């Protein structure tokens, strides 16, 4: 089944992992625990977590009692921060295929791609890890 919004596996790993780490409230969370909780591939997860460490969103501690912790407070990390670490800057181009000139003179989808991207960006930039990591 396909949906209008497609998020890569790496981005999903990053978003969910960061939310779980935020729930740790400053305690180290192991990659193994994240992989087990979310049923992720440990190998792929490790690559994503290292990317988040290298870009300054996470800190890591090696060793048997090691793990990951947020590098900044959860209310200072937005979902857009995480998304863009994995995917790069979210495009604001109006054309979904990045054509220089539309053969129809106007996009057959009208302003829908632009509007959806804008709403998606607004949601990601307005939502912090603190917003989504609260335990119920």
Domain ranges of the chain: 9-132
Give Cβ neighbours of residue 52 (< 8 Å, ≥ 6 apart): 14, 17, 18, 58, 68, 82, 85
pLDDT band at 134 (very low <50, low <70, confident <90, very high): confident
List pLDDT tens digits, range 17-46: 999 999 988 899 999 999 999 998 899 999
| pLDDT > 60? residue 136 | no
d(CA 36, CA 56): 24
Which long-range CB contacts under 8 A does 41-47 form with residues at least 24 apart? 44/9, 44/10, 44/13, 45/13, 45/17, 47/10
Say how many C-beta atoms besides its own lie within 10 A of residue 127's C-beta.
13
**15-24, 105-114, 120-129: the lowest-pLDDT one:** 105-114
Pick the CATH number of 9-132 from 1.10.10.10, 3.40.50.970, 3.40.50.10490, 3.40.220.10: 1.10.10.10
Contact 17, 48 (CB under 8 A): yes
Q: Give the pair of three-digit tokens for residue 113.
A: 């791609």
pLDDT over threshold 90, residue 4: no
- List pLDDT tens digits, range 56-84: 999 999 988 889 999 999 999 999 999 99
């Amino acid at each position: 089944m396909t949906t209008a919004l497609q998020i890569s596996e790496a981005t999903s790993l990053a978003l969910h992992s960061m939310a779980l780490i935020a729930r740790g409230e400053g305690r180290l969370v192991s990659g193994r625990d994240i992989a087990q909780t979310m049923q992720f591939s440990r190998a792929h997860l490790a690559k994503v977590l290292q990317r988040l460490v290298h870009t300054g969103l996470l800190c890591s501690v090696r060793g048997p009692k090691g793990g990951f912790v947020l590098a900044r407070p959860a209310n200072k990390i937005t979902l857009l921060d995480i998304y863009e670490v994995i995917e790069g800057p979210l495009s604001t181009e109006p054309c979904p295929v990045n054509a220089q000139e539309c053969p129809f003179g106007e996009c057959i989808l009208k302003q829908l791609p632009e509007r959806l991207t804008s709403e998606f960006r607004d949601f990601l930039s307005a939502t912090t890890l603190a917003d989504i990591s609260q335990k119920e």
